[in-house]
Every structure is written in C-alpha cells, then in structure tokens.
Structure 1
Amino acid sequence: MQIRDLPFTDPGVPDVRSGLRLLLWLGGRQRAGQAKSLGWGLLHLVCIALFPVVVGLAVQAVVDGSGADLAKAGGLMAVLGTGVTVGDTMLHRTAVTNWITAAARVQQLLARRTAELGAALTRRVAAGEVVAVSTGDIEKIGWCVESASRFSAALLTAVGVCVGLVVYEPQLGVLVAGGVCALAAAVLPLLPRATRRADLQREKAGRATELAADTVAGLRVLRGIGGEELFLSRYRSASQEVRRAAVRTARMWAVIEAVQVALPGLLLIAVVWHGAGMVADGRLAVGELVAVYGAVTFLLFPLRLFQEFAMAYSFSRPSARRAARVLGLRRTADGGLRAPADGGRAGEPAGDLYDPASGLVAEEGKFTAVVCGDPDTAGTLAERLGGHAHGEEAAGGADGAEERSVLLGGVPLDGLPLEAARRVVLVQDKDPVLLSGTLAELLDVPASGAVTPAEALDAAQCGDVLTALAQSSADVSDPLDARITERGRSLSGGQRQRLALARSLVTDPQVLVLDEPTSAVDSHTEARVADAVRRLRRGRTTVVLATSPLLLDRADRVLLVQGDRVAADGTHRDLLRTEPAYRAVVTRETDDERAAGTRLAPDHGTAEGADETAADLTEELAEGTTRS
C-alpha cells in the first residue's frame, strides 16, 4: 500500500475487543509494509553495527603497519557507508508510509462509523472526545504501528551484536549485554506516570475544545444577554488547566530523556574503564578495544529505539482503547426485510410505525401528532422513531433488539441497512442545521422526486425567505442561486426553521418525523404551514411532536405521552374535553387554575364548563387563523 493509493477501497473490519487487539489488527493489515521496513531497518543497523569492527581492523592495520589491510578496511567502510545511506533512506520512506497508512485506515474507519451512527454518536461519546480520537489519538496509534518494525530490526541487531561481543571478548561482552538489558528496563517504570499525565492533558484539552465550540455556537445569544465575559473567563480557566497539564507532561518527558542520556553514558564509561585496564594488562589489543567501544556506542542507538517503542506503545494503548470504543459502537444487529406494502419502495418495509418502548403507533398514511409534557422526552422520542436507539437499550434484555427497536410494518427499523433506514424515515430535529451554500444546494438532497423544491418551499411558506435572499444578493436573479451563510445566521429563526422544513419535505420519505417544526413561526404562518404540509404529505406517514393547538387540531390523531408511555389518544378537541393532563400541556394551564376550573372560563364554575369552553376557543382560534 502506497500513500498515493489512499483512501482504502475497503479499510476492513477492525478487532475492537480491546486497544491491544486493535493495534495487532492494524499491524497485521500492514504485513507487507512492516516486512519492507524490517528489511531496510536490518540493512541500516547491520551496516552501522559492522562499522566498529572495520574501524578496529583499520586501527590494528596502522599499529601493524600493514597498508594492504588498511586499504581493505577503507573499501569495507565505503561499502558499509553506502549500505547505511540506502538503508536509512528506504527505512524512512517505508516507516512514514506505515505511519500514514495506519492513521489513514483508522481515520477512515472512524469516519464511516461516525456517518453510520449519526446523531446517536454524541449521545454515547462527547463531541470533544470524538475530535480528540480523530486527531491526537490517531497520531499515537500510527506512531506505535510504525515503530514496531524499527523496534524489531533494532532487537535482532542488538541481540546479534551482544552475542558477537560475548563470543569475541567474554568479559566485556557480558558487561555490555547486562548493561543494555538494565538500560532497556530503566525507563519502563516512568512510562505509566507519563501516560497518565498525557491522558489528563488530553482530557482537559478536549473539554476546552468543547467549551470553545459551545461558546462560538452561542455567541449571538451570549452577546444578547451580556455573557461574553463569563464564558471568556471560563475558557481562560480551562486553557490554563491545559497549560499546567502540558507542563507536567513535559517535565516527565524531560526526566525520561535525562535517564536515556545519563545511564548509557555511565555504561560507556564502565566499558572503557574496564577495557583500558585489560589493554594495560595485555589481555586486549588496542584495535579490539576500539571495536568493543564502537559496538557499545552502536548499541546506544537500538537502545533508544527500544525506549521509543516502549513509549509509543504506552502512549498509544489508551488511544487505541478509546478508538476501539468508538469503532465498537453499533446501531443494533442487522435484521431482515419484508416485501413492501403499497407506497413502499422495493426492498423497503412499509406500514404502521410502532414504538414498543412507549406504545406509540403512527398509522400508515396518517397525520399523527404527539404531545409530550417534557421537551427532553419529545427529543428522545423523535430520535428513537428515527432508529437512533441507544446501543445498550437495543442490547438490553433477552429480546432487547426486538423489544426496544422501533418497528415499521413489523420490521425492526434499527435492523435495516443504514441507507434504507435513511430513505424510509427522516427525522427533523428541533434545531436543524443549515449548511452554507446556495438555496438550490440546500434542497439538493436524496429524494423520491415526487415533491419538487418549488412545492416544498410553497408548503413551508418560504415566500418571504425567497424575497429576503433575493434582496441580499442583488447580482442573483433566481432566489435559488442566492447564498445562505453558515448555519443560516443571516436569517431569522423562523426563516431557518421553514427552510429546514422545506428540505425535509423535498426528500418525501415514507415516514417524516418533525420535532416542533413551527415553534419559531407566528400563528398565522403556522396555520398555513400545517394545512399545506397535511395536503402535501397526503398518503404518507407524518409524525409531528408539538404542543401548538393549531398543529394539533389538523392532525388525524393525537397521542399524549406521559412518563415515556402513551397515556391517551384521540382527536385534539376530544382530548381537550376529556383529558385534564392534555389540556394542561396544550393550554399551559397551571395546577391551581385547573383545580379552580377558571383558566379558560371564569364564568363557568365547573371543570366540565371549562373543558367545553377550551374546546370552543380552540375551534375559534383555528378557524380565525385560517381565515386570516
């Protein structure tokens, strides 16, 4: 695999049972690259290891006065120098390739998993955590995979040199071998502490990043309430915590570097001291001492590679564990498909939408409204209806996937292939996002083709939005060519909401779930939107989570959800008369007012009278708004 061939056509299925297994899987996927790096590493290190021997021969040739031996030593140096140059160059190329391809493989896997999980990802993992895994953690994982081949080459070469020294000069060889083993293990006790400090720094940096992102996203609101200084002070505090954590990490790195410099120097001094005594006693020739000295000097190089690999593994193990955690997230196990009912596409289910967790049933082809007293419950329910149930919920219990998964026509929605699930059910969040670009690009989404952009814009009552966009772009004749700023910041909340609704209507899914689609729209526009959406979605299943009487009055069926379960169902006006809890949510009636029966009918002394008046006023409001 070469860098120019990226991205991978198929990055593979990772082993996410643990961080170590993920690292081993990555190394196994790069066997060819690892073998190349090992081969070039051996050439590089063996040539360096032989240099002291040749230098020893040259020194001995000078002592003996042999010009021929000196010429042979010079020729061998030239050959070894060429081998060192070629080996180092190719080792660097293959090692960098291994690093980048390993990081790219993990990045590609993370991107695919993020796209598959969608909104469910940030419920399981913080956004700052995802960013940290996709940046710093990937670099550490690539570093470990890349250093494995260099470590293997250094290990084989160091063992060969130590064995050669023991055979060549046992006394010095045993001293060198024991010293190298001790030095290789000297740094290991320091690595866990360095790893913990680096993890703490990374955690604080992730929190600071998340705080900065939240602050920027809410900057307009902060300015409106004068809260810039408060959040700025919070970010300053968070950034200072990151700085202090980074200094602590740097101090530990400095200690490790000091150990790596000081201890090898002490070993070199001991070898030279002992060897010089042997030369003075006549037990060792000068050239042999030079060769041993050169071999010890060489061993300091693979020794640093040992310590580098130990650090790479120590730092990458928690990174690999976090990456494995994200890669291990699943929507649910795959399920089967059934033949489509009328209105369904080939290979896709159709029918009633049923949520076993709440008991909610949205009949096929009907306009169903859902009232939740708790906005958080409404948001969770909307996500669940879109097939974004929590992984632990889907896996809970003996029949967790069948009990918890939302069913469409009897088929578990979480079991559908991702592309099919997205075509079948579309959920529009309470706060939809508009990306920058032209209006035509905004509406250029995967769709059935049954609803044109013009029809969707008209149903969402976007006439004033088109006018505003045309006025803001004087050089554009067609409003569809007008540009929308990032997140639609140049538009009002109601305008953004209606454009998002138009985008959802263009897709024309079998099931459309809307969470408070008109909360930022005035009542007159809201009534027109409700009527137009009902007409445009005729024959398709539409679920609207709302508390607005104008929307609820136009629904075929209204469901009241309390405590995560459906508590009542019927038409809007029937529920107003028969369900005090429903009336309290829809009319914002307080407990005291409900008890007194005076919220809507001060002249009626009974709760029944209040119920009747509430229904009458709702009817008048709906009819009056429609006439307007």
Structure 2
Amino acid sequence: MTTPDSRRSRRAGSDILRTAIRRNIGAMAWGTVLMGMYQAGETAFPIALGLIVEHTMQNRSTGSLGLSIAALAVIITTVSLSWRFGMRILQKANTTEAHRWRVEVAACGLQPVARDVDLKSGEILTIATEDADQTADIVEVVPMLISSMVAVLVAAIALGLADLRLGLLVMAGTVAILSVLGVLSRRIGSSTKEQQARVARAGAKVADLITGLRPLHGFGGNHEAFLSYRKVSTEARQQSVVVARVNGAYAGTALGLNAVLAASVSLTAGWLAFTGQIGIGDLVMAVGLAQFIMEPLRLFSDMPKYVMTARASAERMALVLSAPPVAGPGAETSPAPGGSLEIDCVRYGALHGVKFDVPPGEFTAIAAYQPRVAADLASILAVNVGPDRYEGVVRLSGQELRELPVETVRERLLVNPYDGEIFAGTLRSNIDPAGTSRTVPEAVEASMLTDVVALHRQGLDYEVRDRGANLSGGQRQRLSLARALAADTEVLVLHDPTTAVDAVTEQMVARNIAELRRGRTTVVITSSPALLDAADRVLVLGEGAVTAEGTHRELLATDEAYRLAVAR
C-alpha cells in the first residue's frame, strides 16, 4: 500500500519504470525464458532444415529422414507451447501492473489535498488510463527485447559456425540497425510525450465545455467555445500527425534496414556456396535464417520505440505521483470539540491581514466585495493552500491547521465550493456518497431539492449523468448544497451556495440552512441578501481585510458601501 509519505517523495519516469520491473521480476524472468525458447525454436527451424538437407544428401537414409522429421516436430511443438504460455504470463503481468498504476494515479488525483500540478482533471484521467497502460508495457517489452536478442545471437552463432564472415555480418548489421533506430526512438519519445499532453488538454477542454453547456447557451457563447476547443484540438491533431510521421519513418527505416541485412546474408551465403566455401546445407540454413531473422529483427528494432513511449508515459505519471501536496499531514491529534474557527492576520493573494473569529454554533456570513478575496479565503479554509504558503494562522477549535492531519481537518471542517462536482450515479449517491449520513431527508428539504426528487418517479434513485449533464445549473448547485448539509460536519463553510437559484428559492434556502445548522458553526461567503439576513452576524471584507461587522440590517442602515454592494 502506498503511503502518503511515499507519494510525496520525488519520482522520475525512470524510477516508475524500475518499480514496474522490480514488482514483476518473476513473471518477466519466466516470460523471458519461454519467449527465448520460442525465438530459439524459430531460429532452430532453418538450422535444422540445413542439417537435414546436408545429412540426407550424404546418407540418403530413410531412418535419418524420419529422425529429422521428428526433430522438426519437437521444434514446432516447443515454438507453439513456449509462445502460448510465455505471452500468457507476460500479458497477465502487463495488465496487472497497468491496474496498479491506474489505481495509484487515481488515488493521487482523488486526494483531498490539492497538488501543485498544472494538470486538469481531464489530463489526469488520460494519465490514469492511457499513460498507465503504456507504462506497464515495459513489463512485456523487456522480455521481448531479450528474446529477440537471443534469436539474433543464435542465428549469428549458427552462421558463424558455417562461415565466420556470415556471423560477423549479422552482428555488425544488427549493431548498425540499432544505432540508427536509437536516434529515431528518442525523437519518438519526445514527440509522443507532447502528443499525449495535447490530447489530454483537448479532452479536458471538451469536458469543461460540456459541463458549462447550459450557461454557454444562455449567453450565446457557443461559437466562441467551439473556436477555443477547435484550436486546442487542432494542436493535438497536428502533433499526432508529427508522431505518425516519425513512427512511419521509424517503421520504414527499420523494415528497410532489416531487409538489407537479410538480403546481404542471403547473397553472401550464395556467393560462398558458389565458390565452394560452404556446403549446400549451409546455404539452405543461411537463406532460411535470413528469412526467419526478419521477425526477431523487427521485434528487436521495434522495442526501443516502445521503451521510449513507456518512458514518456512514465514521465507524465510522475507529474501526478511525485507532485508534493500543498499541505502535509500534521501530528496525529484532534482538535477539541466545539467548532470555533479563527483567522488570525492571514495574508495571501488578495487577503491583506484578515482577522476574525467565529464562535462555536454561530451562523456567520462574510460579504466580500471582490470575488478574488472570497476565492482566496475559501481556498485557505479548504486546505487547498498549504500553511507554508500564507502568512498568519488559521485555528480550528483553538488548534492550528498546520498541526492537524489533513484527514482530521476534513472531518471537522467542510468547505463546499460554488462549483462542486456532480458525479454519475443517483441523486442519493451524490448526496451521501459513503451511504452513512442520517440526515439525507433533512438536507434535501433544506436545499430545496425536493422539487427535483418529486419530479422523477425514481425519487432519490433518479440517475444523474456525469457532471450532472441532465440537471440545470440551479439543480446542480442545490444538489451540491444538499451533499454539504448531509455531511453534518462540526464546521461548514459554504461559498456562494445560491448563485444559480431564483430569489424566492434563495430566500427559503437561507432560512432552511439557518434552521438545520442551528447550534453548529456555519460560515457562508456570499453577497446574497437572503443569506446575509439569515446570518447571526455579517463580516465585510473590503480590500482584503475586515472593514465592517454587524447584522445585515444594521449594516444596511449604517454602511453606504455595503448597501450599494448587496442591495438588489
């Protein structure tokens, strides 16, 4: 099991590949032996034919011919069984290793602590699928590379025994082929890495556009959105063409060089037989090997390309697996019960020395005049910004967040963003993902999601599409709010929970939140008059600091800037 500490350690693509090899060393060893037997058997076939021709022409014996046929049968059986079981072992190890990496990347992507990686969710999805599969290919590639080397080596030795020049020709030709292809494979690695990144960005872009399809229709942004996606997709297509061109050049060069080597071996053997330096059996063996060696040479020359592709994918996986969390786990302690929240002289981004405290059980609303101020405050409370990246202190029930494990903070303090994700599943599974909440009905009623539940015959078991594609913006927002309320945490922070609902619904939601959360600490970052009026106290953040405090109605009567900012 991977620990959080191990996930925080820096990992390069080469380390990931070494890990994959180390975890599958047994399967790779057996696979190498069996695939080596397969390649040796393939190579032995033309050698056996040459020996049969040589001895049959000399002895002209029926017994020798029968023995030769039996030997060929043994070789064919060995080739068939070794391929079957060798590939079974390697492919099982490959798929198992791909599963491990998919799970590990997904676990990192789903960590509650945000990571300092410039990757969108769509890109992480690509890394957790395609890149994980291509990285795991190293488990299969290495045994195939070694077994192909075995075939080339056996062929070179057999030809060398017939005539040293033939063996040296095979060895020199193989080295030359690999040298040329090694240069091309490095180009493939860099091109493939860039292609994977651009395709992932295009996938992330289209996912974001689908999520915002309804708002785009609303303000007529469809055409601009299409153009932005078309630009990203075109870049991905152009890079794919580059990769295809490089792959084509690689495959064509490999095929051409292999054919040249096979032809050179055949012509040299023909010349040696013509001059009487080798026998007719050796000629048959050499011509047969020149044909059979094409397959292991093709595999041998293809392997560097797969190795570079696996390494490019591993480097992309390392972006997720080795990215440090923005907040490391604190000591294994738990804050005292109560649920107070204190912000003490916090400076970060648009926040300039924010200082306030929320006593246990109070419903506090925060009116931020600038959206950036609200976003930065929500990020800090959600531990999306590590304590080492801002000045000041945030305390939960009197204990600093930096001293608490992230899991403990999340259990006691829940920050629900204004753009909370909706998952494919049912309304019930979105509201109560763990299936442990005892307040689902109350949360549904408080968030005014009752109309959505009543609208469908399945009720809470109504199927929701990925990202809530079959719900309106207001329905998605109320579903996200219901999930936050059903969590029933000690301290709840809501960031603009009603921006997509109408004024009447907003008024009822505000009263319901105040009633449902009575006696528990609740903070709402909002400019909604309904929520501000329902709060016990309102804090005004202007220019990144607290500039006023009081009830909503007191501030309306005494603060002109506040009245202009929130009055609708």
Name the TM-score class by shorter chain: 0.7 to 0.9
Partner of 1:34: 28
Superposed displacement of residue 64, structure 1: 0.9
Q: Does 1:81 align with 2:76?
A: yes
2 CA distance for matches of 1:204 and 1:82?
47
Q: Which position in structure 2 is the counterpart of 1:455? A: 442
User: Structure 1 residues 128, 181: closer, same or farther in 2, change over 3 A?
Assistant: same
Matched, 1:542 2:531: no
Shift of 1:60: 0.2
1:106 aligns with 2:101: yes
SS of match in other structure, 1:187 = helix
Query: How many Å separate the matches in 1 of 2:452 and 2:320?
Result: 43
Q: Which of 522, 541, 544 is matched with 1:561 structurally? A: 541
Identity of aligned residues (%): 31
Contact 2:34–2:82 (8 Å) recurs in 1: yes
Question: What code does the residue aligned with 1:372 have?
Answer: A
Is 2:565 aligned against 1:570? no
The change in CA–CA distance for 1:229 and 1:552 in structure 2 (over 3 A counts) is closer
1:86: how far off?
0.4
Deviation of the 1:189 alpha carbon: 1.6
In 1, the alpha carbon distance for the partners of 2:185 and 2:175 equals 17
Cα deviation, residue 40, structure 1 = 1.0
Partners of 1:578 and 1:481 in 2: how far apart? Answer: 49
List per-residue Cα deviations over 1:311-335 (Å, max 9, x = no partner): 0111122211110111123433221
Superposition deviation, residue 293 in structure 1: 3.4
Tell me how far 1:499 sits from its aligned partner: 4.1
Partner deviation per Cα, 1:221-265 (whole Å, 9 max, x = no partner): 333344434444554555454444333322222221221221122
Quick one: distance in 1 between partners of 2:462 and 2:260? Answer: 72
Using the alignment, how far apart are the partners of 2:309 and 2:466 within structure 1?
38
Question: Which stretches in structure 2 are left out of the alignment for 5+ residues?
Answer: none
Distance 2:289 2:192 in 1: 35
Instruction: Name the counterpart of 1:316.
Output: 310
Confirm or deny: 8 A CA contact 2:365 2:525 kept in the other structure: yes
Out of 502, 506, 515, the position equivalent to 2:482 is 502
Which aligned pairs between 1:14-413 and structure 2 lie closer than 5 A?
Answer: 17-67=11-61, 68-117=63-112, 120=114, 124-236=118-230, 238-331=232-325, 332-343=327-338, 351-354=340-343, 356-357=346-347, 358=351, 359-360=354-355, 361-389=357-385, 400=388, 406-409=394-397, 411=399, 413=401
Separation in structure 2 between the aligned mates of residue 12 and residue 108 of structure 1, nearest angstrom: 17
**CA-to-aligned-CA distance 1:438-476 (integer Å, 9 cap, x gap):** 554444355886x6334334434x2xx535643x34x56
Distance 1:531 1:12, change over 3 A: closer
Q: How far, CA to CA, are the matches of 1:140 and 1:107 in structure 2?
A: 11
Q: Deviations over 1:257-285 (max 9, x none)?
A: 22122112222222222222322332211
Partner Cα separation in structure 2 for residue 524 and residue 227 of structure 1: 28
Distance 1:17 1:431, change over 3 A: closer
Q: Which has the higher contact order (CA 8 A, sep 6+)?
A: 2
Residues 525-578 of structure 1, C-alpha deviations (whole Å, 9 max, x = no match):
544443442343233221110123443344344333355x43335324666677
C-alpha distance in 1 between matches for 2:86 and 2:206: 41
Contact 2:43-2:154 at 8 Å conserved across structures: no
Which residue does 1:621 correspond to in 2?
A: none
Whole-Å separation in 2 of the counterparts to 1:330 and 1:453 = 36
Q: Which amino acid in structure 1 is aligned with residue 126 of structure 2?
A: A
SS of equivalent residue, structure 2 residue 494: strand
CA deviations on 1:319-359 (whole Å, 9 max, x unpaired) are: 1111011112343322113354234xxxxxx5434464454
SS in 2 for 1:432: coil
Q: Distance in 2 between matches of 1:247 and 1:521?
A: 46
TM, length-normalised to structure 1: 0.78
Sort the Cα spacing of 1:569 and 1:163 in 2 relative to 1 into closer, same or farther, 3 A. farther
**For residues 160 and 461 of structure 2, what CA distance do their matches in structure 1 show?**
80
| Alpha-carbon spacing, 1:301–1:525, altered in 2? closer, same or farther (3 Å) | closer
Partner Cα separation in structure 2 for residue 327 and residue 405 of structure 1: 29
Listed one character per residue, the Cα deviations across residues 470-504 of structure 1 (whole Å, up to 9, x for unaligned) are 3x34x56xx55666676566666545444433332
